[in-house]
Amino acid sequence: MYHHPPSTSAASPMSLQEQALSPSSNVPRRRGHHGIDTENKHGTAHAYQQRILELETLLQNEKKRSLDKMRLLLDEQDKSHDLQTRFSSLQTKIKTLEATISRHDTHTRDLQASVAAANARQASLVHEISDKTKHVDKLTQDLATAQKTNALLLANTQPAASRPPPPLPTVATSYTQVQSRNPPATSTSSSSLGALLGQFPALPRRIPSELGPSKDAAAVAMLQRRLALVDKEYRHTHTKYIELKELCARQCVREAD
């Protein structure tokens, strides 16, 4: 290691003695320099302490502001979480409402289709009932006409069947009277059956056949059977009409609810 040579400017023993003999000339100067250094050190330390206090104050303020910001951030996060939760809940409710509305729309369309079908069926039943009513009225009129015809036939055939034939003197007398009024040789029409019956006014002019009443009775029975069948169909159709009407009323009330 390199050593520096001793300085040639070192104080001589004489100068040291002189300094020792006169300490007053040097001590105050040293004391003054030492006082200045001490004051400078104290001022610097005080400035450092002041700066440290200011920095600590700034640090505390920054910490406080940071804590406030963190607190605000946490509050905002809590609010955001609450809003997100509410938003998710509202989305779920909206989806549920949309599904419910879709089901209601489908049910409404089904009800409208059912009501339209019921109205069409009701109109068809009304038309069918009207036709059957007209048919029943026609059959009733036909039955009344047949009953009147049968009554007339019975009225015309009953006297001939119940009354005994006129006595022979009456027939002979009538024949004698007719012969005296219209000789048989004067007219060729007297040989016919109508002319012959005209010569006997006491006898009935219309002699019904044996099969006539039975045919009329069969026709009347057939008309009565047809009338009973149509009446049964009419009652059945009317019952269906009442049931369909009640069903339409219930569907309308359900749709209104």
* pLDDT 10s digits, 50-84: 889 999 999 999 999 999 999 999 999 999 999 99
> CA 217 to CA 190: how far, in whole Å?
36
Mean pLDDT of the chain: 71
pLDDT at 220 over 60: yes
pLDDT at 64: 92
More confident residue, 171 or 65: 65
pLDDT band at 127 (very low <50, low <70, confident <90, very high): confident
> CA 140 to CA 230: how far, in whole Å?
11
Residue pointed to by tokens 């400078």: 40
More confident residue, 98 or 203: 98
Query: How much is the average pLDDT of 174-197?
Result: 45
The two three-digit tokens of residue 51, written as one number: 């700066």
Residues 9-25 have pLDDT tens digits of: 444 444 444 444 444 44
pLDDT band at 158 (very low <50, low <70, confident <90, very high): low
Radius of gyration of the chain (CA): 72
pLDDT at 209: 45
pLDDT > 90 in the chain, percent: 22
- Check: CB of residue 234 under 8 Å from CB of residue 133: yes
pLDDT band at 126 (very low <50, low <70, confident <90, very high): confident
Is this structure's pTM higher than 0.75? no
> CA 56 to CA 18: how far, in whole Å?
54
pLDDT > 70 in the chain, percent: 60
Cβ atoms < 10 Å from Cβ of 14: 8
